[in-house]
Amino acid sequence: MGTMRACVIVALLFIGVAAARQQKEDEYGKILSMSYKFYEGQMSGELPPWNQHLYSKGGWRKSAHLKDNYNGVDLVGGFYDAGDYLKISHPLGWGVSNLILSMVEFKQAYDDANVWATAVRNMKWATDWLIKAHVKASDNPRDNVFIGQLSGKNDHHYFGRPEHAYNERPIYVADSSTGGADLVGEFAAAYAAGAVLFKAEGQAAYANVLYKHAKQAFAFAEAHPNTWKVPPGVFQAYASYWPEGYIAHLAWASAWMCKYDADMCPTANKWFNNALAVNNLRYGLGYDWDSTLPGAAALMISMSQPSASAAKQYLEDYVLTKWENSGNKCPQPSYSTVCYTPKGLAYYSDWGTLRNTGNMMFMAALMGKYGNNKQAHICWARSQMRYITGTATGKSYLIGYGPDQPKRPHHRQSACSARYTEPCNPFNGGTCCAGESGVGVGGCCDESNFRNPHPAQIVLAGALVGGPDQSDNYPDIREDYQRSEVAFDYNAGFTGAAAGLAQFARSGGLGSCPGGSSGGAPVPPSNPPPNTPPPNNGGGNGGGKTIPDWQKCGGIEGNCPASSCGDGKWNGFSCKSGSVCKRQSEYFWMCTPGTRTLAAPAAAPLAGGAAAAADQPAVPGVDLLEVSAPAAAPAGSPVQLAASLTRMGAPVSGAVVEFVVADSTSNGSATVQAVTDGEGIARAVLPVEAAGAAGSSSTVSAVTPDGKAMGAKGTVALSSAEVGITWQ
């Protein structure tokens, strides 16, 4: 009886904890304020006296990179992009315009959190630098020059504090020779958004300066309808994927210009309708620096423009309907759809998944103000916020807030001691200051320290990490730039969502929402995680190595000597068990199943062969890859494999497809390649030596090795679901 009574008490306690968690409301104002604390930690240049992290006031930040310039033009200031010290205009411009949108639409929340003045200061810090980054301004579109990227791979190999950086910082520009409507469109959007904000703040002269830059940038973008590229062989941190993506950037920029100047509204409606007519843009589900159409739609709706009806149908009836469909469960191919993890996260992108979720939460908050189904959008945004903060699950992905926070963000300075004593001398890819040695507390601020698994020594309060996988697993590895990195643009939409929820909470708009994304109580982790391949520690070839669960992927392989690899010994990616770590490009790596590559008697490619595959890569986000194989086959016999690749329902020809066959008995696997024909079908034969033994089984999946991820900093393959073969 006593044992039974104890069990009942424990059960009641668990129910009580779960109920309390379900009823708890997040502190949205605190989250909003913390975001700006993170942004101020990312400031570059001569830091202002109002910076919250000043070293002279007991913080961890000093002024840094005080010599940034382009041919003598001052480029000191601005914000660092992510976990290193690059300054990149594209995501900065997009982030600034979204933050200003949140300020314009949810000003009461900013006022209530006492963060309005802080936000205005931060936005001016950003727009001041973006004005500098317009290094040659002219009313003649061809004469303008804009900074696209300040520094490159050199910063990836520097692990010290920014004030001690000694690496070169090359600069890459957009001008008449490169074009770049996507990049410069984000300049125009940020300038115009700044003009809207500072006009409302009574700073008309500054607003006029910003709007003049916006008009010049927009004219350049219209005159150069292409995506921006750095010179061949140069590391480009943010490269737009869609060739026609610049149209959405022009729609986004012109919508902001319409908000400032009614004379621009016909142009804004034209570009929005043009973007909506492009299937690659209309049917994408992401919202980030490279996929801007949802933001343009939200602006057109908020201004009741002629295109608002079409914009609402697109954003509310298509995009948000996909995001809010919790019945679509993971796993699903990344970037192909939105699926729900076991604990309730709406999952779209493998790379920085919470960035896209946070951005779409912001869109939902805006539709909670302007949409037809307001309450559903508000409650969905709240459910995702509760997942991210850990209020509903017991696991937070927001540093400085909630339970079980990330401890090892991919951020160089945070791995080092907050305080140090000069002199500091160059050492091992970073610096070692007086009295420092080794790694961790009191250690040098160098590469060894960064790669050591000690918890961060500086708490990046307010920073949102990339996030978990489709099984809610989060390895919390500092070198894992896919899931552990923090970035200015990662936080932008999330900040807007926090502002929106704060304002809805103030007005009682959250009262009818259910407890959270998973009913309030934390969901116990599955063991092992679903759909995780069995451990495989075997070797491999083809530049790959099979690794245990969540171990490092990357570094120089036998097929990629230091002389031709841009990332040197970088090994930041993390793979699940049974995966093979393979180099995907000069700078990036990917994880795929398999241990050996077999020559395939594949179907003959179309005329043009490899050239066709290179010209028409598979596109995650709108593509569907399906694989087929016989359910049963004679042991030791060759097997016919097929895969179908479609784009919005239309066949994709000339694309490389790699079949991956994993044997459940030996834990080995094989890959064969084929090229899709005119009907979008790739056919291959699995050789006899890869067939399984009688009584065993294999799984077959397909992957597009030339696929690129929308919004990712590198390439990520589109993959199919698995099918099984039983060997008889």
- Residues marked active site are found at 476, 485
Instruction: For residue 306, say if its preceding peptide bond is cis, omega within 30 degrees of 0.
Output: no
Residues with Cβ < 8 Å from 697, sequence gap 6 or more?
664, 724, 725, 726, 727
Supply 383's token pair. Answer: 């459910």
Q: CA angle at residue 339 from 333 to 344, to 5 degrees?
A: 140
In angstroms, the CA 517 to CA 530 distance is 19
CA 586 centroid distance within chain: 20
Instruction: Give the largest CA-CA distance in the chain.
Output: 88
487, with CB counted inside 10 A (0-12, 13-18, 19+), is buried
In angstroms, the CA 274 to CA 307 distance is 11
Concatenated DSSP letters of 364-433: HHHHHHHSSSHHHHHHHHHHHHHHHHTTTTS---BTTSSSS--S--B-TGGGS-S---S-EEEETTEEEE
In angstroms, the CA 152 to CA 156 distance is 7
Strands 632-633 and 723-727: parallel
Residue 247, strand partner residues: none
In angstroms, the CA 532 to CA 549 distance is 9
Q: Does residue 500 contact residue 369 with C-beta atoms inside 8 Å? A: yes
Supply 496's token pair. Answer: 């807007």
Q: Does residue 663 contact residue 699 with C-beta atoms inside 8 Å? A: no
How close are the terminal C-alpha atoms of the chain, in Å? 55
Residues with Cβ < 8 Å from 467, sequence gap 6 or more?
345, 352, 353, 354, 355, 357, 388, 397, 474, 483
In angstroms, the CA 213 to CA 185 distance is 11
In angstroms, the CA 163 to CA 416 distance is 13
Residues with Cβ < 8 Å from 611, sequence gap 6 or more?
none
Residues with Cβ < 8 Å from 362, sequence gap 6 or more?
98, 102, 287, 381, 493, 494, 495, 496, 497, 500
CA 385 centroid distance within chain: 17
Residue 536: strand, helix, or coil: coil
In angstroms, the CA 335 to CA 338 distance is 8
In angstroms, the CA 498 to CA 110 distance is 10
Backbone phi, then psi, for 704, in 5-degree steps? Answer: -105, 100
In angstroms, the CA 586 to CA 74 distance is 32
In angstroms, the CA 723 to CA 705 distance is 19
DSSP annotation of 571:
-
DSSP H/E element including 626 = strand 623-628
| CA-to-CA dists, residue 74 to 132, 133, 164, 396, 431, angstroms | 7, 9, 19, 40, 26
Residues with Cβ < 8 Å from 430, sequence gap 6 or more?
158, 159, 160, 161, 164, 416, 444, 445, 446, 447, 449, 450
